[in-house]
A and B are shown apart, each in its own frame.
Chain A
């Protein structure tokens, strides 16, 4: 059912339960906008209507919507429409002039300063981060309206902070705004300090006065209950005032342990986007770009070697390049060869190699997980209780290692056709069996890999 029909059905329900006067005052003034990500967005004229409806009529409206056939997990969100914008995107219209008045005369950065290097211009995009990059650009063009909050997650050192600060830089170019960048750890320290000095108001005001709040490594809020409480209120205050909030984390909100559900649900309110580990081409592009900032030119095979061997994150990639570049600029008479480079990067290379997963690792993890013996992995017997885990193991071998089908088949004592069949079976089952998907994801994590990076 589409949103207007659903709303008119819900209205007729509400008309029955509510007294006419109340209906006319509070329900008729609502303008339904549409359903976005399981939230029914309802527009009202001012903050007070929003407050009053949220406090007093929200549950009634949700019940009426459900009774009219809305899905059980549909929630209701009231937003204040300031100007007549495109009805489908309530938060995409320009900032209300009212809030502009309170801006300071000049652009300013509160809390930690932004790193001048982290700009959009310095950000190399590839398939792994193009979506995150596009959303960040969108946010920087219409802060507080496009995607609020924006939640960026991904492994360490792949550009979350870079992207977040890039938004900050871009927004600062169109003053007057105040951008507040802070890491969760700083937030914690300041909060503790504020509690000690009994200056929590000051703490609050500092963050609530920001037009754009950037919080780095939000996962450190986990388990810090009173700080979460404080952050929850700050979040609401900023969100209600249509101020942009951007957060980064190493895990998606739902997987963050020790975080209050109400915070998690708020983090998922806007857009959750992931930066994946860069692929080979992107790594090479990053190296080329970084190299162009120095005066040294390394031969292409060397760059390819680095890009090919250092995969885990951009930070180590840059580290490797810096080493190579500084070596060749210090030893001008001795050109850098592949062997020399291998010597130079041996620590990083061995570190990367250690991370390679062996068939043995996978078989052991799968056997442990499903409570089987290691020998069951390669036995000829094939009751379903053994074959299913074995298929999972083969599937993981295919996904997590770069080995060929015959190599995998060998380690299981099977033919390559069996492996092909196993991979296909599991791939198909993953689409329809959430429990299996969870198991596979957990196994992947146990093996020290990020399931999301492997599209699991």
Chain B
């Protein structure tokens, strides 16, 4: 195999797929990337057996072939090179010779036959959605996914393709984030899948702000195709809980708040909270929200925010991080808090079809 490639293109390709590679792998071949050159195109593939990433970049292929090379080392070398054209030749023993200007490297690879097979971009159903919209949906929900490994089905984001909508949901048992987006697909293609958190992170990294995203649903796995990049992931096996049950049907009070003001006030007050003691009281009174917290051995903090509110006074206790999480990930200027009383779940909404259920804390 022999090819010439532009440094910037090669580096971009390597960086797209590099994150999938396990940082400390028990299986050596997984720390390598599969590189295949054919004609004027090169394909770089990485996998950790659960998630695989693949991207295509242009190159001048002089000799067709494939090999696997340690991706982190190759990426470090390419990053340090100072000429734009790189010439790479790989012999039958999978030893790669890299030549670029005055620099010369020999890198030892592994044979391609040991590299695990990667799912193909096909499936009985293909959903199409705008990349930017999909990324925004992930951004608005993924932070609420559970990190508790004992609750496996909650360790990811639910993607439900139902009733001409894509609904994304994440919850950890104390809060729940939900976002919807209308897309078109045939009614027989209705399905649900739970995308693991690592795949969500990878997707958010590689998704662009425009362009088409194709989602191929396969058995136990899903393939995302975006332009020259393909990411496939195993799905979490299990049934996602009935999240509708968590969403309160109606709330008696509604408060309109400026998002950034609320976020910065919470951020200030939460400075005096600790991991163990983070209960923060939000008191909604006529056109005013008071945020206060007290931490033994640390101190206390209080801040007020002007709001639009005319209902009864409600005092409710939250983990401030759980209030700030959605505020950081939506872009609206105004958000709406919907409440019943101090110990019923609260709802946070904004202009979009976005909904966030937040359970109050209880202090004895």
Contacts and interface: CB of A to CB of B under 8 A. Distances in A.
Nearest to A47: B241
A240 interface: yes
Given A18-B343, A22-B344, A56 B359 contact: yes
A51 B345 contact: no
Contact of A52 (B173, B249, B362, B364): B173
Given A19-B344, A56-B359, A60-B343, A198 B248 contact: no
5 tightest CB-CB pairs across the interface, nearest first?
A48-B241, A237-B150, A55-B173, A19-B344, A56-B359
Interface string A35-67: 000000000001111011011100110010000
B160 to A, nearest CB: 15
A196 B134 CA distance: 39
Nearest to A58: B362
Given A21-B249, A51-B173, A204 B362 contact: no
A204 B149 contact: yes
A59 B343 CA distance: 12
A382 interface: no
Nearest to A52: B173
A417 interface: no
B259 to A, nearest CB: 26
A104 to B, nearest CB: 15
A21 B252 CA distance: 11
A290 B241 CA distance: 55
B305 interface: no
A237 B150 CA distance: 5
B174 A21 contact: no
A455 interface: no
A27 to B, nearest CB: 12
Contacts of B150: 208, 233, 236-237, 240
A233 B173 contact: no
Given A19-B344, A49-B245, 5 more contacts: A25-B245, A51-B151, A51-B154, A55-B174, A63-B364
Prevailing SS type, chain A contact patch: helix
A338 interface: no
Residue among A21, A51, A52, A199 with the highest chain B CB neighbour number at 10 A: A51
Interface string B225-262: 00000000000000001100110111000000000000
Contacts of B341: 19
Interface in B89-131: none
Nearest to B23: A198
Contacts of B298: none
Between B150, B242, B248, the greatest number of chain A beta carbons within 10 A of the residue's beta carbon is seen for B150
A21 B250 contact: yes
Interface of B: 24, 26, 149-151, 154, 173-174, 241-242, 245-246, 248-250, 340-341, 343-345, 359, 362, 364
Contacts, number: 55
9 contacts: A17-B343, A21-B248, A21-B340, A22-B344, A55-B174, A55-B359, A197-B26, A237-B149, A240-B150
A398 to B, nearest CB: 49
A22 B359 contact: no
Interface of A: 17-19, 21-22, 25, 46-49, 51-52, 54-56, 59-60, 63, 197-199, 202, 204, 208, 233, 236-237, 240
A52 B154 CA distance: 12
A263 to B, nearest CB: 15
A56 B174 CA distance: 7
A52 B245 CA distance: 10
Contacts of B151: 47, 51
Nearest to A235: B150
Nearest to A62: B364
* Most chain B CB atoms below 10 A, which of A21, A22, A48: A48
Contacts of A19: 340-341, 344
Contacts of A56: 173-174, 359
Contacts of A204: 149
A22 to B, nearest CB: 5
B235 to A, nearest CB: 15
A199 B26 contact: yes
A19 B248 CA distance: 10
A237 B151 CA distance: 8
Query: Which of A25, A63, A198 has the most chain B CB within a 10 Å cutoff?
Result: A25
A47 B249 CA distance: 22
A63 B150 CA distance: 27
A56 B362 CA distance: 8
Nearest to A238: B150
Nearest to B237: A102
Contact of B246 (A52, A60, A198, A202): A52
Contacts of A55: 173-174, 359
Contact of A233 (B24, B149, B364): B149
Contacts of A46: 241-242
A60 B362 contact: yes
Contacts of B249: 21
B149 A48 contact: no
Contacts of A202: 26
A79 to B, nearest CB: 16
A315 B280 CA distance: 59
A315 B250 CA distance: 68
B237 to A, nearest CB: 8
B320 to A, nearest CB: 17
Contacts of A51: 151, 154, 173, 241
B241 A22 contact: no
